[in-house]
Copies of this chain bind each other. A is one copy, B any other.
Amino acid sequence: MDAYRELEGKFAQRAALGDALGLLSWDQNVLMPDGAADRRADTMAALEGLSHRLLIAPEIAELLEKATTDGSLWQTSNLAWMRRQYARAMAVPSDLVEALSSARVRSEAAWRVARETSDFESFLPRFQTVLDLTREVGTAVGEVLGLSPYDALLDGFDPGMRQAIIDPIFKDLSGKLPSLLEEVLAYQRTQPRSLRPQGPFPVEAQKKLGRAMMQRMGFDFSRGRLDVSLHPFCGGATDDVRITTRYDEADFLPALFGVIHETGHALYDQGLPSVWRGQPVGDALGMTLHESQSLIMEMQFCRSEAFTAFMGPRLAECFGVDESLPGWNAESLRQAVQDVKPGLIRVDADELTYPAHILVRYRIETDLIAGRLALRDLPEAFNAGIRELLGIEVPDNRQGCLQDIHWPEGLFGYFPCYTLGALTAAQFASAIEQTVDVDGALREGDFAPIRQWLSDHVWSRASSVPPMQLIREATGHDLSADAFLARARRRYLG
């Protein structure tokens, strides 16, 4: 067996451990009994440790040294991903990995308390430890890969993504977003408002609606599931993609659009090419691309006027009510899913105000990692940013800089991918419209032509090329905020 084939075997073993971890994590969030939590954490840590040791074994270094490919794009990319994973893993000393891992656990526990009480001061020491250790990791990886610490962290979530790519795009966005937002809010005030349908909306009917929507979008139930968890997510394993949602009987929109969002993620995972399963090149291509696939479904397509025209009239039947009752029509649904309203909480934000939450966090986290901002000054910087971009005052840290779990968990470099994903989704949507009558299809509730385009240009390519190249080849342009802003003007300014 040649070195390259042997490496494929080793990485397939790691993929098996990854699948096991994906299923254990799904189980942990969906149905694990409480008393199993400690043991489950130990089990998962042991599997992660095994996977790490498989990667840094001396024979991997020897094989990577010797390996040659057949010169094809896929094998060449696969070997490059293997080398990249190896380099990242070797860059961080194992005592640093362990120190950060246990600091995260302690920090997360302290954050849960601190958030409840809005108490930033008492959380600061543990938070500082996580930040310091994360910066150390970024520095260590950066030295090996020739990147700044922040770029090294970013690259861990989104391969090839760099601050130098993001900065001009986000600068453009932060320059144009506040005035656009003002325009939209002014326009919205001039429009007549429809009534919303009255609940309660029974969970069983919502479940049926969600499953029907997944089916319509093309989710393959023979290779996946829909379940319930506190925080919706898309997880599971290869050929077994599991999404979750949660139900609120007072409003069916959060569950429905949660399902649509996670189905977007799931279609990407289910659409990856089967021949490369278990190999790095066969994986999805980082956070930005993954988020683009959920947001193109949730934001670009399913909140469109065209899709609400299809969906609106069908809701009454789904909940077994008389469709002539107030609120059970397309226009009411369109208004509800296109409502723009600046708010404090990122996860509740609409399409147009969401980027503002990210821009604030991006500026702060780059400053924190670069050492330009002291952690103790975070609340002030956060509140100033929200004031500047959204025009609202943050009343307490609970609704301010303590609202998200990302930083307390050491996930610096993760936030920008949300908005990069939103911009990518908009750019894809505009590209699809060049060859597909998207509105026509959505008015019929038909996702097939959209799915075909995404499969051809995104899913089937897996990780065979870097993210920015894939976006350029699929859309004809480098990633920018142009499509996002143009589409927003069109949607929200009539």
Q: B-contacting residues of A (Cβ < 8 Å)?
A: 12-13, 16-17, 19-20, 23-24, 27, 31-36, 38-40, 42-43, 46-47, 49-50, 220-225, 237-240, 277
Contact = CB atoms under 8 A, between A and B. Distances in A.
A237 B43 contact: yes
A98 to B, nearest CB: 14
Contacts of A223: 33, 35-36
Nearest to A19: B43
A430 B43 CA distance: 40
A19 B20 CA distance: 11
Contacts of A32: 240
A43 B21 CA distance: 11
Contacts of A42: 16
A38 B274 CA distance: 12
A375 to B, nearest CB: 35
Contacts of A237: 36, 39-40, 43
Contacts of A222: 33-35
Contacts of A220: 35
Contacts of A35: 220, 222-223, 239-240
Nearest to A12: B46
B20 A240 contact: no
Contacts of A16: 42-43, 46-47, 50
Contacts of A225: 31, 33
A101 to B, nearest CB: 16
Nearest to A16: B46
A222 B239 CA distance: 30
Nearest to A236: B36
What 4 A-B pairs come out closest when comparing CB atoms?
A16-B46, A35-B222, A36-B240, A35-B223
Nearest to A274: B39
Contacts of A34: 222
A49 B12 CA distance: 12
Nearest to A222: B35
A152 B65 CA distance: 45
Contacts of A221: 33
14 contacts: A12-B46, A13-B50, A16-B42, A16-B43, A19-B43, A20-B47, A23-B23, A32-B240, A33-B222, A33-B223, A35-B220, A35-B239, A39-B237, A39-B239
Contacts of A36: 223, 237, 239-240
Contact of A38 (B12, B24, B31, B239): B239
A39 B224 contact: no
Given A20-B24, A20-B43, A23-B27, 10 more contacts: A16-B42, A19-B39, A33-B222, A33-B240, A36-B223, A36-B237, A36-B240, A39-B237, A40-B239, A40-B240
Nearest to A54: B50
A326 B290 CA distance: 63
A239 B32 CA distance: 10
Contact of A17 (B33, B47, B224, B277): B47
Nearest to A277: B39
Contacts of A277: 39
A327 to B, nearest CB: 34
Nearest to A37: B239
A10 to B, nearest CB: 11
A223 B46 CA distance: 20
A16 B53 CA distance: 15
A24 B44 CA distance: 13
A449 B401 CA distance: 55
A385 B427 CA distance: 75
Given A33-B225, A36-B223, A222-B34, A17 B240 contact: no
**In this complex, which of A17, A24, A240 has the most chain B Cβ atoms within 10 angstroms of its Cβ?**
A240
Contacts of A27: 23, 27
